[in-house]
Structure 1
Amino acid sequence: MKSVAKATNSIKSIQSLKKMTDKELFLYYTNNRNIEIRNELVNRNLYIAEILSKKFINKGIDYEDIYQVASLGLIYAIERFDVNKGFEFSSFATPTIIGEIKKHFRDKGWSIRVPRRIQELSKRINGAKTVLHQKLQRSPLIKDIAEYLECTEEEIIEAMEASQVYTPKSLDLTYDNDGEDKDIQLMDLIGQTDKNFDFIENKDFLDKTVEKLNEVERKVLKDRFFKNKTQMQVADELQVSQMTVSRMEKKIIEKFRKELSKSLD
């Protein structure tokens, strides 16, 4: 309490804030929420936001944007920090700031990861568009951008197409259907998985597994599961007991189970 009182009495000017320790500032801010105290704490600890922001350079979002988000995370940390718990503020602030940065990446980052060179070229293209639009007094063509950036037109097109994955598009997005009464939705243009794929995969698995059965096992499999013969009928044809046929069935099923397990590994 004496420290709090001392800190309170010392808040008379900006110069007096400079002389206070971080602990004194936090003690005072916890009890009084003085905006000048918070600003001083932010200024003293901005280096933390700067260091953490640099870890996310060249990740698809401009450094300035990341730094702003990190600075906001720093303010959140200052608001929540309790100096009485004995933690170092930097240790407390770091996970809060990184959490805010990662949240920003989830909301604003590339929804599909593309090569860094494409991301960097995409940013350069955006800048070139602004410069060329002012210089040419019209929207720049692909050729104009390529010449300005000293790239090929194919590279410009590749980067511009890749930039479309920066944010996902809604499946409800509609397109004009060339004069038709009804517009087309994006979901109508997306291909569907061919149902025959599963059939082909299953058939291939069955064929390979059947090849590993002996002649008697193949007959039991065919008669029991394709011709729907009873165990007694199969047993009479093979001149064995019904119990033998039952055991053979279990053995065949076990072989299929093992082969299926191998195919899934």
Structure 2
Amino acid sequence: MTIGVVGGEKRIDDFDKATNKELFKRYSEKREEFIREELIKRHLYIAEILSKKYVNRGIDYDDIYQVACIGLIYAVDRYDLSKGYEFSSFATPTIIGEIKKYFRDKGWTIRVPRRIQELSKKINTSKNLLSQTLQRTPTVDELAEYLQCSSEEILEAMEASKVYAPHSLDVVFDANNDDKDINLAELIGEDDKYFTTIENNDFLEKNIEKLNSMEKKILRDRYFDKKTQFEIAKELNISQMTVSRMEKKIIEKFKKELKKIYN
């Protein structure tokens, strides 16, 4: 990576080809704003991925994404390349911390119409009274009849109340015939595909850097630009068989690196 000056403005020769490590090294030395902007742009996908984890929780996605971007900016400014860990490993908890902080500050200020708040309180009281009378949990229609309102209003109030009374993941449920109780976290837990996506990006970025220039071009052309082996061979002035062999060689290199991780 080389730096040049054009019309009084600094630039990086082959800017798009510069690796993230090269840019972080340069930024740590010179703190140049245009490199900072490029690093932020390259890693916006992390902010986007993490923002999606927090949708449908009472705050607009756009607001969450803006907060995540602020966290990303903090991460770029604070990242220390000499520590040896990948940027995303540092950025992820930094961004999540900013998002959670925003939810703590704003989550309970979500405005719900006063009539809904009052109806929600009446529903809770009515549930207890009707449960004693009916010896079971009342239905939505029974609650509506008791409170002299529509079923739609009951459902609206019950849904809105979730914003103000979120369930703890430590809530324990009776497992019926099983001796072991189950908590809510076990019932709703699932594999986190978003973190997997970030890990995959880290793996690719780290191992692409180890390839030579021709291998990088073949990989980019085949799997990112969707070119055929014939098109690549013609462009590089080599045989299609050579392209095929190099592609297999690249895949084998990736397989070896994956084995190191999972063995």
**Bin for the TM-score computed over the shorter chain:** 0.3 to 0.5
Calculate the TM-score normalised by the size of structure 2: 0.41
Calculate the TM-score normalised by the size of structure 1: 0.40
